[in-house]
């Protein structure tokens, strides 16, 4: 649509809104609300600077990022493959449906103690927990996308002599890819949840450890600083998924550009 606000203007308004929130927060801290409960933006910035200066923020962020990214890719890949397989083999899907729903209904965090017994409290446990959480989100979206592929298109390709590989690559995957990336985008925060919760339960490193350590010392500034680091990490992971989505579905960028210029 013509007259739509430019990217520069949108970003400027976002920065202005952020500045207003930070100024209001700084003024309210210690006057309207005790500092103990909400700290101060300046104190949080100072804590972040201390962690950056001594290298602890980068060390702990790298640990959490490794757990989240590894679990995200492992769970996402397994979810996509399983979703495509069960979406194409209805007998197998009907056979496994009650078992899948039973595991899906189970709160995944409840598996953490079991994973600790099986794997230990190291990084592998956090990766496994993250992968399980991501798997079900991506699997269900992929399965739904595959099952919603036009039966007419599949029938036409079958009549033309196409084999299963041709049907998958020419119809099923291109048609379901929007559902796949919807599942991947939804699972981004849950990947971090798996990594952080694993660190909260048993860890001496990672952003989850920084969070619990600060809370144990009643350091509100440290808690907020750790939360900001987690939000930045989530933003980076989400941005990565969006970039991959643009590469996999270039027509969506074209449609967005066309809508703006209409």
pLDDT at 251: 64
Instruction: Please write the tens of the pLDDT for every residue from 82-130.
Output: 999 998 888 898 898 888 888 888 888 888 888 888 888 888 999 999 9
**What pLDDT, on a 0 to 100 scale, did the predictor assign at position 30?**
86
pLDDT the model gives residue 104: 83
Q: Which residue did the predictor score with more confidence, 255 or 198?
A: 198
In this model, does residue 23 exceed pLDDT 60? yes
The mean pLDDT value for 138-149 works out to: 89
Question: Is residue 60 very low, low, confident or very high in pLDDT (cuts 50, 70, 90)?
Answer: very high
Q: What's the pLDDT band for 176 if we cut at 50, 70, 90?
A: confident
Contact 84, 146 (CB under 8 A): yes
- Given a contact cutoff of 8 angstroms between Cβ atoms, the answer to whether 191 and 130 are in contact is yes
Fold of 44-261: MetI-like fold (1.10.3720)
Instruction: Identify the weakest region by mean pLDDT among 55-59, 183-187, 199-203.
Output: 199-203
Tokens of 85: 């397989």
The model's confidence at residue 243, banded by pLDDT at 50, 70 and 90, is: confident
The C-alpha atoms of residue 81 and residue 193 are separated, in whole angstroms, by: 23
Residue 255, pLDDT score = 52
Mean pLDDT of 41-47: 93
Alpha-carbon distance of 30 to 39, in angstroms, equals 8
Cα end-to-end span (Å), the chain: 5
Domain borders along the chain are: 1-38, 44-261
What's the whole-model pTM score? 0.82
């Amino acid at each position: 649509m013509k007259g739509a606000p430019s990217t520069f203007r949108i970003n400027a308004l976002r920065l202005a809104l952020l500045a207003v929130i930070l100024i209001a927060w700084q003024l309210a801290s210690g006057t309207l609300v005790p500092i103990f409960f909400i700290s101060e933006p300046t104190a949080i910035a100072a804590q972040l600077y201390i962690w950056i200066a001594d290298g602890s923020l980068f060390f702990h962020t790298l640990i959490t990022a490794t757990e989240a990214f590894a679990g995200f890719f492992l769970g996402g890949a397994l979810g996509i493959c399983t979703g495509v397989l069960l979406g194409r083999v209805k007998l197998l899907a009907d056979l496994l449906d009650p078992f899948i729903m039973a595991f899906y209904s189970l709160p995944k965090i409840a598996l953490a103690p079991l994973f600790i017994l099986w794997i230990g409290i190291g990084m592998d446990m956090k990766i496994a927990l993250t992968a399980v959480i991501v798997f079900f989100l991506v699997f269900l979206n992929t399965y739904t996308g595959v099952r919603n592929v036009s039966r007419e298109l599949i029938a036409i390709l079958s009549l033309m002599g196409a084999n299963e590989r041709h049907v998958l690559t020419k119809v099923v995957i291109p048609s379901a890819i929007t559902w796949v990336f919807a599942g991947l985008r939804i699972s981004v925060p849950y990947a971090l949840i798996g990594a952080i919760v694993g660190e909260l339960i048993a860890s001496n490193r990672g952003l989850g450890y920084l969070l619990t350590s600060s809370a144990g010392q009643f350091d509100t500034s440290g808690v907020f600083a750790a939360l900001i680091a987690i939000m930045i990490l989530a933003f980076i992971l989400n941005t990565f998924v969006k970039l991959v989505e643009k590469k996999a579905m270039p027509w969506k960028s074209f449609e967005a550009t066309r809508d703006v210029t209409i």
